[in-house]
Chain A
Amino acid sequence: MNIDWQHFTPWASLIGGLLLGVASAAFILINGRILGISGILGGLLPPKVGDISWRVAFLLGMLAAPTVFMALVPAGFASEPRIDAGFWTVIAAGLLVGIGTRYASGCTSGHGVCGLSRLSPRSLVATLSFMGAGFFIVYILRHIV
């Protein structure tokens, strides 16, 4: 194993991670809800009466983030995004993520951050499964195919 020092951003990633933790903490303690993106989004498909506005408020806040970030940090994003996947690959990946996260009731935020934080064995299994699948598929795509 060799480390990619060129792209390694320890401080930005650590501080960014702390912000994710503070947001998850605020959401459970102030609003009483688990901060899980796939669940918040999926709960709108289809929308259910009385269970819409909090999801929309949260999602609008997330969607405002790039604009606010650019205003706070005019120099731009910490790292310029690199998207290697092509058209059909992106579609296939999106479908897998959509079905998989709903089937497993959670993604990186709900199971990975909140679930591990509250020491849930169920979320540990989910996190090990999606991390394992991620490591495996990247190994196949980058080193075998």
Chain B
Amino acid sequence: MNNTIHRISEFLVGLLFGLGLILSGMTDPGKVVGFLDLFGSWDPSLALVMGGAIAVGFFAFSLAKKRTMNFLGGLLRLPNSQVIDRRLVIGSLMFGAGWGIAGFCPGPALVSMASGQPKALLFVLAMLAGMVGYELLDRFIHAPRKAKLNPS
């Protein structure tokens, strides 16, 4: 029973997030690129999207930091990594480049795919391939190298 409540809640949160992406304009790559085009004709909408989201999120996470359990009685999983390394910066630079080229980030791409856009489907397939590629790279190149550096 508890599991069912979890699944329903996760579904509804996903739905709400998807609705927010559509309403905000994030599912329109032209709007994303319009925001990133500081030196052209600039569309500031996305600043309001981020501002609105963080305004609510700030209070939620302040409360979350004081708790160890979530409202449904399970663990509250806050990330504990503080590491700022090459992976974080290079990965983010790659992501930002792809985001600027096509105007899609992962969430809006999934939602646009579901609304039946062929280019969004193509983007999602390439993105999934990239994610699988990362997993393979991590498993066969990074992990063995790390093991060699830190023999246990």
Q: Does A92 contact B (CB under 8 A)?
A: yes
Given contacts A95-B98, A125-B84, contact A17 B15 (CB under 8 A): no
- Number of residue pairs spanning A and B whose beta carbons lie under 8 angstroms apart: 496
CB distance from B89 to the nearest CB of A (A): 5
Given contacts A77-B27, A138-B37, A139-B39, contact A118 B61 (CB under 8 A): yes
Residue ID in chain B nearest A126 by CB atoms: B92
Residue in A30, A37, A94, A112 whose CB lies within 8 Å of B98: A94
Residue in B39, B41, B98, B110 whose CB lies within 8 Å of A4: B41
Q: Which residues of A contact B3 (CB under 8 A)?
A: 53
| Interface contact A68-B42, CB-CB below 8 Å | no
| Interface contact B27-A100, CB-CB below 8 Å | no
| Interface contact A64-B114, CB-CB below 8 Å | yes
| Interface contact A133-B127, CB-CB below 8 Å | no
| Interface contact A95-B126, CB-CB below 8 Å | yes
Q: Is the interface of B mostly helix, strand, loop or mixed?
A: helix
- Size category, A interface: 35 or more
Residue ID in chain B nearest A94 by CB atoms: B126
Q: Which residues of A contact B113 (CB under 8 A)?
A: 63
Given contacts A41-B106, A81-B30, A107-B106, contact A57 B11 (CB under 8 A): yes
How many positions in chain B have a CB within 8 Å of any CB in the partner chain?
119
Q: Which residues of A contact B84 (CB under 8 A)?
A: 121-122, 125
Q: Which residues of A contact B24 (CB under 8 A)?
A: 12-13, 15-17, 19-20, 78
Q: Which of B42, B100, B120 has most chain A Cβ within 10 Å?
A: B100
Residues from 81 to 114 in B contacting A, C-beta threshold 8 Å:
81-84, 87-107, 109-114
18 A-B pairs with CB atoms under 8 Å apart are A7-B45, A16-B20, A18-B53, A26-B13, A42-B135, A45-B128, A62-B114, A81-B27, A81-B117, A83-B30, A95-B126, A99-B134, A109-B106, A111-B92, A112-B50, A117-B56, A118-B58, A133-B97
Binding site for B on A (CB under 8 A): 1-4, 7-10, 12-35, 37-38, 41-42, 45-46, 53-54, 57-69, 72, 77-85, 87, 89-105, 107-109, 111-114, 116-122, 125-127, 129-139, 141-143
